[in-house]
Amino acid sequence: MEFSHKSILLNEVIDSLNIKADGIYADGTLGGGGHSYEIAKRLSDKGRLIGIDQDEAAIKAAGERLKEFTDKGIATIVRDNYRNIKAVLQELGIESVDGILLDLGVSSYQFDEADRGFSYRYDAPLDMRMDQRSQLSAKEIVNGYSEADLFRILRDYGEEKFAKNIAKHIVLARADKPIETTFELNEIIKESIPARMRAGKGHPSKQTFQAIRIECNRELDVLKEALEDMISLLRPDGRLAIITFHSLEDRMVKNKFKDLANPCICPPSFPVCTCNRKPLGETLTRKPILPGEEEMEENPRSKSAKLRVFVRNEEKYVNYETLKR
């Protein structure tokens, strides 16, 4: 199956990054290379684009799509997790960049390739690994996690109202035999939710599958760990643009941007700031940028997308390590 992923909020991302022809940009979630292609074609021979992805299929597809730019030495593709973005760039001799992009959505290819096990709509082995070199898969989580841990991830990562009952039924079912496929898990989830509560609520497995996928790939942990590194890599006036697809990611990005734009920890009663913690810049998007009606009609998977952008402000530029102390 061909790797395909329609680039969401493409024009908005390109505008937000304010691309400089001679600048250096990093795409931490390269995917099929749609966003990166539009960045690269705006760069001169002095510009650089570093594309990072952990999915082997994405690396192959992006390599083909960006070949004209890799041949010129403008684009470089690295198979890795964006959590290691600082080390990846340092290995390439890059200390700072003019812009970084993250598109945190699961690609259409990953959802639609049945064998990957991301979708509850196909009967497939439980997998859900974005990096298939990883040891932890959805199967290990479903069959190996305690009932308490299953409840925790379904509640916290899936915001599933019936997390406790689903966790209980998973543990009961696996006592008879291992749960091996997506459809086996679907049946367990369905039996755990009262019929009257399933009516008109969409597929009953949606939130559970989301939660297991997030746990399997440590998506929230990776995002939390990488945010500070990405901000520290930005040059003055550099931009960090992040597209999220569920409330947990969006809240994390929103709060981190807010903290970096206003890092003061002085009590509200203090008339002036005495902590001397300096802002690193400002959030360009007080409210997230959302897809337009036309994009949502053409690509229903864009409906939950939110784009937030942070800019390092030259006048307020300080060393991030100083801020953390």
What pLDDT was estimated at residue 185?
98
Q: Is the pLDDT of residue 235 over 50?
A: yes
What is d(CA 217, CA 200) in angstroms, rounded to the nearest whole number? 30
Backbone phi and psi for residue 223, each to the nearest 5 degrees, phi listed first:
-60, -45
Q: What is the helix (H) or strand (E) element at residue 182, kind and residue range?
A: helix 182-192
Token pair in block for residue 21: 């022809």
What pLDDT was estimated at residue 3?
52
Classify burial at 95, counting beta carbons within 10 Å of its beta carbon; exposed 0-12, middle 13-18, buried 19 or more: exposed
Domain boundaries, the chain: 10-108+219-324, 124-217
**Domain 124-217 CATH (choose: 1.10.150.170, 1.10.1050.10, 2.40.70.10, 2.60.120.430):** 1.10.150.170
Dump pLDDT digits (tens) for 117-171.
Answer: 999 999 999 999 999 999 999 999 999 999 999 999 999 999 999 999 999 999 9
Token pair in block for residue 281: 């810049």
DSSP-H helix ranges across 107-181: 108-112, 138-144, 147-156, 163-176
Alpha-carbon torsion, ordered 265, 267, 269, 270, to 10 deg = -50
Q: How confident is the model at residue 5 (pLDDT cuts 50, 70, 90)?
A: low
Token pair in block for residue 89: 């760039």
Query: Which candidate, 54, 15, 21, 20, places its Cα nearest to that of 35?
Result: 15
CB 89 within 8 A of CB 232: no
**What pTM value is reported for the model?**
0.90
Token pair in block for residue 174: 């696996």
CB 247 within 8 A of CB 109: no
Q: Which residue has the higher pLDDT, 197 or 149?
A: 149
State the DSSP code for 23: -
DSSP sequence for 192-206: HS-HHHHTTSS-TTH
For residue 120, the one-letter residue type is Y
What is d(CA 185, CA 158) in angstroms, rounded to the nearest whole number? 15
CB 290 within 8 A of CB 325: no
**Domain 10-108+219-324 CATH (choose: 3.30.910.20, 1.20.1730.10, 3.40.50.150, 3.20.20.140):** 3.40.50.150
Q: How confident is the model at residue 274 (pLDDT cuts 50, 70, 90)?
A: confident
Instruction: Give me the residue label for tokens 């390599």.
Output: 63
Q: Is 125 helix (H, G, I), strand (E, B) or coil?
A: strand
Alpha-carbon torsion, ordered 89, 91, 95, 98, to 10 deg = -30
